[in-house]
Amino acid sequence: MEIYKWLPKTNCKECGKPTCMAFSLDLLQGKVKVDDCPPILKPKYKKQYEKLKEMLGSEEGQQKELRINVDEDLCDGCGICVTVCPVNARYCPPSLSGKAPEYPPEKHQLFQVIGGKCELLNLEHCRRLDSEGRERECHVCETYCPREAIKIEYV
């Protein structure tokens, strides 16, 4: 979101991406560079261009990997991430009504509360990796965690 703020937000599609939001996501993951955005090179956006360069620093252009960190010390196992995660909802419908999913877990399932703490089971089915379009910007687990224990990062 920080990166998106400094982009031109014109949705001109000149970079080949459908929206500026998609471009900012790819920028974060290191798939594209700031220079790949044609409008930002114009003198009008000089300040924003410099700001973006400063933000990304030397890491620009390096391929990054998605990581979801669950802080075990902060988590209290409320299970909100289990309920709100759209992947969980699709493959274990009972979790939609706040019920704990079955054990052993379904192979697509992302989160499960085990022993009073939330555990990330597998990342490969996360919407950020395994879907198209706007769904790739999914960050519900991070947004709704009341203890702020979940962090989505690119390392």
Q: In this chain, which of 27, 110, 113, 126 binds another protein, going by CB under 8 A?
A: 113
> How many residues of this chain interact with another protein, rule: CB under 8 A?
28
Residue 63 is a binding residue for another protein (CB under 8 A): no
User: C-beta of 141: minimal distance to another protein in Å?
Assistant: 11
Pick from 77, 61, 86, 70: nearest CA to 121: 70
Nearer to another protein, 74 or 123 (CB): 74
* Per-residue contact string for residues 122-151; x = within reach of another protein by CB under 8 A: ----------------------xxxxx---
Decide: 25 and 17 in contact? Cβ < 8 Å: no
Buried b (16+ CB within 10 A) or exposed e, 56-92: beeeeeeeeeeebebeeeebebebbbbbbbebbeebb
Q: Which residues bind another protein (CB under 8 A)?
A: 75-80, 82-84, 96-103, 112-117, 144-148
